[in-house]
Every structure is written in structure tokens, then in C-alpha cells.
A and B are shown apart, each in its own frame.
Chain A
Amino acid sequence: MSGEAGPGTGGPEIEGAEIEGPQIAAPGAADPKAGGLEIRGLEVRYGPVRALRGVHLAVPRGAVAAVLGANGAGKTTLLRAVSGTLRFHRGAITSGTVAFGGSRLDGVPAAAVVRRGVVQVPEGRRVFARMTVAENLRAGALGVPGRRAAAARERVLELFPVLAERAHQRAGLLSGGEQQMLAIGRALMAGPSLLLLDEPTLGLAPLMAARIADTVRQINAQGTSVLLVEQNAAMALALAERAYVLEVGEVTLSGPAAELAASDEVRRRYLGIGAPETDRPVGTDPGPGHERHERTRLARWTA
């Protein structure tokens, strides 16, 4: 990752394993590389409920950033604020800004956000169960011109050959893993420059989760930036260059993923690992050995 967003743009940096208090303004607000996502001082409310407060976050172009956090921390809310879907939940941005590629996204309707190249894969997959797989993919391309869709379709079927096999099957009849592939493939049909993923491995068996992780890596290698929300912290930290920890609506930790993976706090609370260990940091091993991931997957519920 070149063109570092600059220290501080993503809220407090970690120093060792300390959790710092939130900072109100981002110091040294260096511009991210053109084309990136830049969230500043974001506050979101659902009526009287304040779900996010003073959130700073950056996804430089071409990068993968991860957001970790417990249930109810505000991860989905953060993605809704970017994709313009807060209004479906009677929520609203009450202060702060969201910008992508230098232009503001806050206040932009969801469909227009898609045309700007930012596409969200919703939590819980939400495939159109009554439509076929092929129709779901077609729906994914509705927001963009036809030429772009044809090219995207080939890319999607290459990434997920199983979708070609099941093209005429109802999406509701696919397995959970297949539905997740369809949900990601459908989002890719719009040819996004930034993909927002909300817990893509939730409820999937470890092997399928690992496949999804590989796919995210592949999608990123093809030039799409990714903002990944995950409770599977080990997987997210292995994928991301940069990570953020959300707690009760605030970013309490942020920094390079490898550093977060090594921090005691994160290890204890999100990776489910006790005292500091001497083995390799999680973030450095995305290889096929997933025993570690399975272990943390079980352990994170105790966090």
C-alpha cells in the first residue's frame, strides 16, 4: 500500500497495545490517494439512538480495510452510511462526512452511490430468493450501462463457476455458501471500485469461509478496494492492510492490520488468544493452514 493515508486519519493509532480515547478531529488530515474512501467525524443516529460517533476511517484506493467489532458495535451502520441505505432503517448521518474519490457520498441516494462505483454486499446475503441465479446477477447490473455488465459477468462467472452451473436455479434454493458467492457476484456485476462486505463468512463452514476469503483477495488483486466488516477477526486481519476496531459506535483502535493482530488487546478480545504468544502474527499467514482460524472462530464468542 503506497500513499499511506497518514497517521491519524483513521482515528487513534495504536501504540503497542494501548487503547486510546477517541479523537474528535483527525490530526494532519493528509489527503488519501485519489479515489479512496474517506470518512470523517461520522455520527449516525436512528432516531434517539446514537449508533456511531466521531468515526474516522479511510480506505485508500486498491486497499483492503477491515472493521472489527462485537455485535451491535455499529459495523453495519457504518456500511449503511456509505451505501446510502440508512433511510431504510430510519437512520441518518447527523454530522461528519463520507467522501469517495474526492466527492461527497453523504446525502447521495443508494442507487447513485452504486453509479459512483461503491457497492455493498448486505449482511445476511439477501439474494433475491424468488429469482433465478442469472436474474440475480442481472439485477446486480441494473445500475450500470449494459456494456459494463457484459464484461463484469464474465469476471463473476470466472470467480464463481458454480453460479454458471446453477444459472437457472432459484437463488433461494442455493446453499448458504453459494448464496454468499451469489451475493458477492451480484455486487461485482456493477463493476465496483470499492466493495463493501458485511460479514461475508457469517454462518459458513470454515472451508467455505476460507474460500470466500480467497475470493476477496482475488477481487482486490483485480483492482477493487474492499471495506470488510467481520467478526472473524483472524480472517479479516489476514486480508486487510489496515484495520479498525469499533466499540459501541466509536473507533477505539486502528492501524496496520499486522500491528493490530499483534496487539494484546485485539488478541485477547477479538482473536480469543490469552497471554501474548510467541508464534507468528495471524496477519502474516493467509496460507492453507486454517486451524488457527477455526480456533479463533470458536473463541471469539467468549470475547
Chain B
Amino acid sequence: MAVFLELLVNGISVGAVYALIALGFVVIFKATEVVNFTHASLLLAGGYVIARLHPLIGFWAALAAGIAAAALVGALVEFLILRRAHVGSRGVLAIVTIGVDILLTTELTRRIGTEVLALGDPWGDRVLRLGPVTVAETRVVALAVAATLIVAFLLAFKFTGWGVAMRAAAEDAETAALMGVRLGRVSLSAWAVAGALAAVAAMFLCVFPTPGLDRGTAAAAMKAFPAAILGGLDSTTGALAGGLIVGVTETLMSGYQSELAFLGRGIGDAAPFLVMIVILLLRPSGLFGTKEPARV
């Protein structure tokens, strides 16, 4: 039972981090209807900046710089590439983002090389004991931070002018423009926000019990894709639920790997995608996604 609880708590915490990534993914999709495959490299960029700068300026300043850098890279991708790519279909734009992702990831992994970069975080390998359950402090912090960010984000989406502009642009871009919404700004801000969220997620993905940032980190970020998709690409609530489902599934599957040996090794990594496929078969637009509403 203790093992199960530990795994559950860890799963929820990892899931919250995935939710942060998925949230950025969803924000971009809502604002621009582009499926953004650049997300993993934004995350890698944020993590890389933190890793390189923390020995020079300390962890917190490096974290701020990493967040700013990832936001900037996101904004640049939007401004320099997507805004100028006058292609008709969203599908082609998605492929453009794959290209950008490959470029960025190749450059970043070349810089990282075979190293495993520590992020210099203040939590180290300390653990919290709650009765029989032992959890890494980093996981607790991740859960708290992710939950706070997600709640703040959902509130902003619902109540601020920025959120209203975002939702208006998502539902009907032309009409939003007729209301005075500057679509360019909306999409730029969506990419910047997504970058910033990815950098925060990068930090939590690379601290204890993970050894640090390495070239495999981008692959970890890929798990946020099934999270976003199974939750429903255009739903912030879906991102949250999807992140948690993926995190918990993955952690439980990996934790009970010996019991699940008949499924083969690496079932933990594959599980999120299996869950995604099963959910999409049952609900094609994801758990919370809107089926394109019929317009009169």
C-alpha cells in the first residue's frame, strides 16, 4: 500500500509537470489552431539556459533567465517563421513546426553533447516522509508550483482581457479582429507563455530523481503530447487531466514493472501513448475537447 501511495503521489507530481507542458501546447492550439511540435525544443532551450547560467548567476536568476529565454524563443518562432509562413493549411504549419523543432533540438543536443547537466536547484535529493510514504521534495515543490500556475492560468484565461481575446481569437479569428483584437499579439503571447511554461517544466523534469539535463530530456517532453491530445487539444482543463493521467499511468506502470514483466520492458514509456489511443477511440475529440460546434 505504501508503495502504491508513493507511486501515486509521484505520479500526480510528474503529471502536474506534464500538465504544464500540455497547457502551453493547448494555449498555442487555442490561439492559433496550430499543433506545435516545437514544444519539446522550447523546453530543452529553457533547461539548457538554466543549466549553463546557474554556476554564474545562481539558481533563481538562472531559472528566471531560462524562463525568459524559452519565452523569447517561442515568440521568435512565431514571429520569424509561422507568421511569415503563408501556407493555407494548419497541417502544413504543423509540419513547419516539426522542422523548426528538429533544427533547434539538433543544435541544442550538439551543445549538450554527452554531458548530463545539473541545474543547481536548492532541493537536492532531500525527501519528505509522511508516515509510510516517502516523496522527493522536488516532487512536492513541482506539484505545488504546477498547481499554482495552472490555477492562475485558468483564472487568467477566464477573467482577464488577455484571456477573452485569446478565446475570441480561438473561436473566430476574423470576428475577433473585427472587435479590435490584434491577432498577431495574441499568437505571439501564446507562444511566449507556452515557452515560459515549458521552461518551468524543464526545470522540474531535470531535478532529482532525474540526474540532470541531457539529450534525452526532449523525449521526456514528448509525453506531454499524449497528455494534451487525450485531454482534448483545445481544452485547458483537458491539459490538466491529461497530464495527470499520463503521469500517474507512467509512474504506476514503471513502478510495478516487475509485476508487469509480461508486457515487456519500457511499458512505462509506452503507456501514455496506449492510454491516448484508447481514449481517442472512445472519445475522438479527447476527454474535454470541443466537438466543432454546429454554427447556425
Binding site for B on A (CB under 8 A): 83-85, 88, 109-111, 114-115, 119-120, 122, 126, 128-131, 135, 138-140, 142-144, 172, 176, 179, 186-187, 190
A186 touches B295 (CB 8 A): no
Known A179-B296, A190-B179; further 13 A-B contacts with Cβ < 8 A = A85-B178, A111-B183, A114-B179, A126-B174, A128-B171, A131-B168, A135-B164, A139-B164, A139-B168, A142-B165, A143-B180, A144-B180, A176-B296
Do A140 and B177 contact each other (CB < 8 Å), given the known contacts A128-B171, A131-B171? Answer: no
Find residues 159-179 in chain B having any chain A CB closer than 8 Å to their own CB.
161, 164-165, 167-168, 171-179
> Looking at the complex, which one of B161, B167, B296 makes contact with A128 (CB distance below 8 Å)?
B167
Task: Tell me, in angstroms, the Cα distance from A142 to B293 when the chains sit together.
Answer: 24
Asked if A126 meets B175 with Cβ closer than 8 Å, knowing A111-B182, A111-B183, A144-B180, the reply is yes
Q: Given A135-B164, A142-B164 in contact, is the A128-B172 Cβ separation under 8 Å?
A: yes
Query: Which of A114, A135, A172 is B180 in contact with, Cβ under 8 Å?
Result: A114
**B210 contacts the other chain (CB 8 A):** no
Q: Is the CB of B174 within 8 A of A88?
A: yes
Q: Is B181 an interface residue (CB 8 A)?
A: yes
Does B106 interact with chain A (Cβ within 8 Å)?
no
Whether the pair A129, B171 counts as a contact (CB closer than 8 A) is: yes
4 closest A-B pairs by CB: A143-B180, A114-B180, A110-B177, A88-B174
Contacting residues, chain B, for A83 (C-beta < 8 A): 178
Q: Give the complex CA separation of A129 and B295 in angstroms.
A: 8
Whether A138 touches B167, Cβ cut-off 8 Å, given contacts A143-B179, A143-B181, A190-B179, is: no
Chain A residue with the shortest CB-CB distance to B296 = A176
The answer to the question of B290 belonging to the interface, with a C-beta cut-off of 8 Å to chain A, is yes
Q: Identify 7 residue pairs between A and B in the complex whose beta-carbon atoms are under 8 Å apart, listed by A's number.
A: A110-B174, A111-B182, A122-B174, A142-B165, A143-B180, A144-B180, A186-B179
B-side interface residues, number (CB < 8 Å): 22
* Contact between chains at B293 and A129 (CB < 8 Å): yes
Distance in angstroms from B108 CB to nearest chain A CB is: 35
Residues of A within 8 A of B295 (CB): 129
- Given contacts A88-B173, A111-B183, A130-B290, whether A120 and B167 have CB atoms under 8 Å apart is no
Given contacts A111-B181, A130-B293, A142 and B173 within 8 Å (CB-CB): no
Determine if A111 and B177 form an interchain contact, defined as CB atoms under 8 angstroms apart.
Answer: yes
Query: Cβ of B180 and Cβ of A190 under 8 Å apart?
Result: yes
Chain B, residue nearest A126 (CB): B175
Give bound CA distance, A118 to B167, whole Å: 23
Which residues of B, 252-296, contact A by the 8 Å Cβ criterion? Answer: 290, 293, 295-296
Contact A138 B164 (CB under 8 A): yes
What is the minimal beta-carbon distance from B199 to any residue of chain A, in angstroms? 28
A149 and chain B: residue at smallest CB distance: B161
* Nearest-neighbor residue (CB-CB) of A139 within chain B: B168
Min Cβ gap B7→A in Å is 37
- Nearest chain B CB to A283's CB is how many angstroms away? 30
